[in-house]
């Protein structure tokens, strides 16, 4: 029996239709105002520019507005902090996205943490992470939150399952593990330097590949019937997991592309709409 496809692209499209209706209701209640996502792009990295453009397009598809802030590659930490402070103080801005990565001279963590909690719709601040990990109200990091929404939408059982997260980045691996733990999974966090990695992956009922290396996780390590979530994307259209041999042995899997990626942007937009509803509604 072939595996269930966790189709993030289809789920994102369905959610966009729902968000469009919510934005229209909000406009009617607020005299025509809509949620606004401010995007900050520092420098001229073409991949980052493409991602920012995709996020602006997603805003427009749900009837929202976006405010594109573009800064030169020579921008200093203090100059970027000043821009973030202006956006924090702007009541018309409901979400702030600082596109990663920023140029090397900038203290990225300091700039992430300068974003006001109520506008941290990408879930990148230490305060937001801490509140999320403690079960308090905060916007979750967009990629792991998108994965959790996808698992829930497709009825994937989490409680009591053994989830193995391969990757420990502050905006993916670590928050992913905390979110799964909050849904009563037993969670093992691994990474590229973990000893005996194949044996640990073989225990996974739910496997999340978030290590950032193309096909680092081999299909032979994954037990039959596992739910396979690949959060990686690399040139050639491959993820962090060797997916092709798993299409008939996994119980469910996210395709690459079309799985996790669309849900990341969709979650960012959804959380901006939620922020707008709190502020305007």
From 99, 145, 230, 271, the catalytic residue: 99
Is 218 annotated as catalytic?
no
Distance of alpha carbon 99 from alpha carbon 264, whole angstroms: 13
Work out the number of other CB atoms within 10 angstroms of the CB of residue 155: 8
Residue with tokens 């009563």: 184
Say whether 7 is catalytic.
Answer: no
Burial tier of 249 (Cβ tally within 10 Å: 0-12, 13-18, 19+): middle
Q: Which of 7, 120, 122, 205 is catalytic?
A: 122
Both tokens assigned to 146:
């998108």
55 is catalytic: yes
DSSP notation for 208-269: EE-SSSTT-B-GGGSPTT-EEEE---BTTTB-SB--GGGTTTSSEE--TTTSHHHHHHHHHH
Question: Catalytic amino acids?
Answer: 55, 99, 122
């Amino acid at each position: 029996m072939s595996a269930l496809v966790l189709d993030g692209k289809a789920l994102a499209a369905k959610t966009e239709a729902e968000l469009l209706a919510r934005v229209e209701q909000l406009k009617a209640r607020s005299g025509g105002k809509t949620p606004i996502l401010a995007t900050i792009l520092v420098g001229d990295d073409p991949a980052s520019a493409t991602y920012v453009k995709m996020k602006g397009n997603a805003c427009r598809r749900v009837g929202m507005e976006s405010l594109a802030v573009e800064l030169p590659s020579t921008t200093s930490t203090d100059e970027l902090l000043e821009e973030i402070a202006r956006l924090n103080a702007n009541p018309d801005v409901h979400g702030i996205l600082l596109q990663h990565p920023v140029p090397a001279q900038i203290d990225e963590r300091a700039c992430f943490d300068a974003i006001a909690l109520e506008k941290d719709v990408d879930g990148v601040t230490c305060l937001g992470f801490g509140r999320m990990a403690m079960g308090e109200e905060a916007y979750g990091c967009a990629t792991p939150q998108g994965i959790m929404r996808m698992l829930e939408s497709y009825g994937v059982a989490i409680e009591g399952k053994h989830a193995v997260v391969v990757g420990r980045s502050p905006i993916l691996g670590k928050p992913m593990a905390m979110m799964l733990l909050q849904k009563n999974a037993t969670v093992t966090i691994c990474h590229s330097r973990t000893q005996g990695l194949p044996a640990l992956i073989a225990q996974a009922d739910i496997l999340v590949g978030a290590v950032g290396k193309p096909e680092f996780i081999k299909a032979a390590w994954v037990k039959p019937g596992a739910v396979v979530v690949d959060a990686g994307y690399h040139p050639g259209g491959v993820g962090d997991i060797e997916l092709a041999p798993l299409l008939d042995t996994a119980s469910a899997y996210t395709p690459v592309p079309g799985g996790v990626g669309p849900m990341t942007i969709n979650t960012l937009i959804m959380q901006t709409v939620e922020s707008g509803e709190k502020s305007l509604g």
